[in-house]
Amino acid sequence: MRSSNPVFKRGYAAMDVRDLDSRTEVDALEEQFAAPAASSVRTGRMTMEDVVTRTGMLFGILLVTGAFAWYANLEGGALLLGFGGGFVLAMVISFSKKVRPALIMLYAAFQGLALGVISHIYEVQMPGIVSQAVIGTLSAFVGALYAYRSGKIRVTPRFTRILVTALIGYLVLGLVNIVAVFVFNATSIYSQGILSIGIASLGVALASFFLILDFDQASKMVAAGAPEVESWRAGFGLMVTIVWLYLEVLRLIAILRRD
């Protein structure tokens, strides 16, 4: 029972207001917990689920066109079309300020065409090599993801500079090799025993480390609240690196099996 004392009456009034505020806060919290999780549809912002979805869609396109190229037994012309078209689209996508999902999906189709042809060529010469390359690529991907998520490898400016420098050196080495083979009719350093194994292993390592950069970039884009459409760009970056990794693993296994 409430007291008739005016002091106590003010105390009851204050208690009622606090109780009301508390109940309001509890109700608001319950509504927040009961509401569906915020997604890119609700917020307009990119999420990691968007990146995974877009990347999966792109690899679905790659696998379909790759399977077509494989079973159609396409040859050199399709290989050049795939890599050439993919390179042109990659340049357009990379330097375009606007995200163009249609071009990114077309890029995946071109890459699938090229990979289907080259994988079939390797498989005919060395049965079982494609499955080995796929397993090797998946293993490297899982290893890179674990190293990034566990914090064993942290992406710092110094780490990025080292990788970029190593990549430039690797590309220069490849260019010198092409010039030596076609201009001076020299023997390719990519086919000379231990040296070729070392170069191919460096390519696999570089591609794996660049995957860590891609993971970090996607995480930073999500944290910065990038628009949902940017998930296409993140998926594109992951696809470029994974395709590069697969080709390096395929070449390394081919060298090891020849030796």
Cα–Cα distance, 126 to 198 (Å, whole number): 21
Q: Are residues 52 and 102 in the same domain?
A: yes
Q: Are residues 27 and 146 in the same domain?
A: no
Q: Are residues 128 and 177 in the same domain?
A: yes
pLDDT of 13 reads 45
Whole-number average pLDDT of the chain? 82
Q: Are residues 136 and 164 in the same domain?
A: yes
pLDDT of 241 reads 94
Q: Are residues 26 and 63 in the same domain?
A: no
Domain membership of residue 168 as a residue range? 40-258
Q: Are residues 28 and 79 in the same domain?
A: no
pLDDT of 9 reads 42
Token readout for 6 is 């005016």
Residue numbers in the chain where pLDDT is lower than 70: 1-43, 177-193, 259
Q: Are residues 155 and 249 in the same domain?
A: yes
Q: What is the DSSP string of 137-162?
A: HHHHHHHHHHHHHTTSS---HHHHHH
Q: Which residues, in sequence order, are bridge partners of residue 45?
A: 227
Cα–Cα distance, 54 to 170 (Å, whole number): 30
Q: Are residues 93 and 79 in the same domain?
A: yes
Are the beta carbons of 217 and 162 closer than 8 angstroms? Answer: no
Cα–Cα distance, 207 to 248 (Å, whole number): 8
Cα–Cα distance, 123 to 208 (Å, whole number): 24
Are the beta carbons of 66 and 113 closer than 8 angstroms? Answer: yes
- If DSSP codes are grouped into helix, strand and coil, which group holds residue 47? coil
Token readout for 136 is 């090797």
Question: Taking the model in full, what pTM does it have?
Answer: 0.79
pLDDT of 253 reads 93
Q: Are residues 45 and 171 in the same domain?
A: yes
Q: Are residues 253 and 220 in the same domain?
A: yes
Structurally, the chain folds into a number of domains equal to 2
Q: Are residues 15 and 78 in the same domain?
A: no
pLDDT of 141 reads 94
Amino acid at position 227, single letter: P
Q: Are residues 4 and 110 in the same domain?
A: no
CA 152 to chain centroid: 19
